[in-house]
Amino acid sequence: MSEKFPSSLRLRIIVPNKLLVDEEVKEASLPSLEGYLGILPGHRPLLTALGKGTITYQAAKGEEKFSIEGGYAEIHPDKILVFTELSENETVEA
């Protein structure tokens, strides 16, 4: 039995009052409470709490990073939804 996995993931990072990121990525790394999770296309569904750390992902324009204070993530085979707050030292363009 062969399953067809998606070639990318739709990453959405949502912070209070704003959709910060909405793009296709090749992979992502999220800071869970137990350590960092590496997420690739085809990942099994997972709901996880996030701890303080850095979200890193590979997009078409290269590697991107955001420091966060916690939150949670819904992970699906073809998408990642992250609900979080940025660290105080993280700046975001308006």
- List pLDDT tens digits, range 49-78: 999 999 999 998 899 999 999 999 999 999
Residue 94 belongs to some domain of the structure: no
The verdict on residue 93 lying in a domain is no
Residue 3 lies in a domain: no
pLDDT higher at 6 or 83: 83
The range of the structural domain enclosing residue 28 comes to 9-86
17-55 burial code (b ≥16 CB/10 A, e <16): eeebbeeebebbebbeeeeebebebebeeeeeebbebeb
39 within domain boundaries: yes
The CATH number for 40's domain is 2.60.15.10
